[in-house]
Chains A and B, each alone.
Chain A
Amino acid sequence: MASTDEQIIAELGLRRERSWSIYDYPNLIRAASVLCFLSAWEIYGRRTDPLLLTYPTAVLSAALQLIGTGELPRQLMASLLTLGVGFVLSVVLGVGFGLIMGRSRIAEAALDPHMNALYATPQVALIPLFMMWFGLGFTVKAAIIFLFAFFPILINTASGVKNVGASMVEVGRAYMASHRQILLKIIFPAALPFIMSGVRIAIGRAIVGMVVAELFTAITGLGAMLTLYGNLFETAKMFVVIIVFGLLGVALIRATQALENRMARWKETERAIQ
């Protein structure tokens, strides 16, 4: 604030202290809202049939029990392993095919009708087919996660590569860069912001793929726990699994965003297709 303003305020003897406002403490409002909700749930939940609705303290004790018996950590690790394998596979193949489709118009013309058709199909509908092909084990889950995560990465990579300025490639070629150097030193870094936003979209979809795959195969993983406890009407334990899924979703999306900011720092306004 300029000194003249200060002088005027002092001369006029204006009051400068603001009255206390609730909007200065948004977290207070949030906490009050959550606390009200949890108390109402606790009171109402205790009076309803425990088969249908549980209550917060029951969820908490179920969580401690599931962690204590080691069931939750074990199933979480099983889920994360399939997620990791399926996701890494989709990043590798998605970026690879995306680079090819972005660079070669012939490859693009030959591949994109099929890719678009597969992308347009709601991928959950293909799960029964995958179960016929790959059985109920680890393979089918990794394959379903791959199916869910592959297309956003492929499409974003291809559009990122197509967006690389022709002049940059021309300069590289003028300085006698080899094909490999052009790809690795010019095109890949320039397309990286697009690739990373593809990865961010893909991680969310991979989690959905993991949940759906485990719900249907219902043998291992967090999704299987959900099916099992649903059939046993153990609602409190179902809530534990749902909360773990929520935390997992937040953690993985945050991690990808952090990676995106780190790896593609030059990204400013570019937004890839959704």
Chain B
Amino acid sequence: MALNALEETALRDLDLARARTFRPTDHLGLIRGASVVAVILLWEFFGRDVNPLFLSYPSAIARATVQLLAAGEFQRQALGSLQVYAIGLSAALALGIFLGLLMGRYRLAEYLLDPYVYALDATPRVALIPLLLLWFGLGASARIAVVFLSGIFPVLMNTFSGVRTVSAGLVEVGRAYGAREDKIFTKIIIPASLPFIMAGIRLAVGRALIGIITAEMFAAVTGLGALLIRYSSALATDKFFVPVIFLSLLGVVLSRAVEALERKMAPWKKTERAL
């Protein structure tokens, strides 16, 4: 606590005790660290007593991680999942932004498409997984379709509402200066709705990750989701935690990356929040 000169003299004159007592709120980082360490230690102690089929413990999970990484199985499945994820998500982003721009700019497109968009957006996409597996089989195409459907709606809806908030004045000025329709899109509408689009991408990245894991768990053939099912059916709880931890790290890394991209691409965004 900074004191000004006057206060310092006053304190000296009054000879007040200045040593502050220990306050836990001054050491929040310490509490945070202690809490994490305490939970890991408790888990290790109690986890060893519990039947290993139900709950593993941190050191067993660490051993399983080393073992799985050495065998190379984990990397292969993770790579397979990530490829499918990347393909499905890119398609979702491309088509989602395209349709969102179209629906936001042209009323005919909006009225033609919005019944389907709202209906599909309201349906929990996971409910479509059995149908998609029936149509596309157990290969990569079914999983790509699931990732695509999980990711497209947040982007589409956010782009759509972003384009609709672009003030008509901006577009009018562009038109008054003789800008063609493509210039109006690239120079006015897209930059103005970029904060919304980026927020949609952030949501889509998370939803698509959930989509691919669910699809892989349901099909139980390839990918990280299949590993989860395989290890849990084999009651190998220590191995089961390896993909779980990987997925949560992946979730954190991806959302951080999108946030960084968001700050870079739409730095003028301050108070806008997406739907």
Q: A interface vs B, CB < 8 Å?
A: 22-23, 26, 29-30, 33-34, 37, 52-53, 105-106, 108-114, 117, 120-129, 131-133, 207-208, 211-212, 215-216, 223, 226-227, 230, 233, 235, 238-239, 241-243, 245-246, 249-250, 253, 271, 274
Contact = CB atoms under 8 A, between A and B. Distances in A.
A30 B228 CA distance: 43
Given A110-B31, A128-B233, 17 more contacts: A33-B112, A106-B31, A109-B35, A110-B35, A117-B248, A121-B251, A122-B209, A126-B244, A132-B53, A132-B232, A216-B218, A227-B130, A230-B134, A238-B130, A241-B127, A242-B128, A249-B124
B236 to A, nearest CB: 11
A271 B248 CA distance: 26
Contacts of B28: 105-106, 108-109
Greatest chain B CB density within 10 A among A122, A211, A245 is at A122
Interface in B122-146: 122-124, 126-131, 133-135
Given A133-B54, A250-B122, A106 B25 contact: yes
A121 B248 contact: yes
Nearest to B199: A274
Nearest to A52: B135
A109 B128 CA distance: 40
B14 interface: no
Nearest to B108: A29
Interface string B225-237: 1001101110101
Contact of B130 (A52, A124, A226, A249): A226
A37 B112 CA distance: 10
Contact of A242 (B115, B127, B244): B127
Given A105-B28, A110-B35, A124 B131 contact: no
B18 interface: no
Given A120-B252, A235-B131, A132 B228 contact: no
Contacts of B255: 120
A245 B127 contact: yes
A235 B124 CA distance: 18
A267 B36 CA distance: 36
Contact of B251 (A30, A112, A120, A271): A120
Q: What DSSP secondary structure best describes chain B's contact surface?
A: helix
Contacts of B6: none
B247 interface: yes
B104 to A, nearest CB: 15
A125 B250 CA distance: 13
A58 to B, nearest CB: 14
Given A26-B111, A132-B53, A233 B35 contact: no
A245 B123 contact: yes
Nearest to A51: B134
A109 B122 contact: no
Interface in B197-238: 199, 203, 206, 209-210, 213-214, 217-218, 225, 228-229, 231-233, 235, 237
B58 interface: no
Q: Nearest 10 pairs between A and B by C-beta?
A: A128-B232, A121-B248, A246-B123, A230-B130, A29-B111, A109-B31, A109-B28, A110-B35, A271-B273, A249-B122
A245 B252 contact: no
B218 A121 contact: no
30 contacts: A26-B111, A30-B111, A30-B114, A33-B112, A33-B115, A53-B135, A105-B25, A108-B28, A110-B31, A110-B34, A120-B248, A120-B251, A121-B244, A121-B251, A125-B228, A127-B217, A128-B217, A128-B228, A132-B235, A133-B54, A208-B126, A215-B218, A216-B217, A230-B130, A230-B134, A238-B131, A245-B124, A246-B120, A249-B124, A274-B199
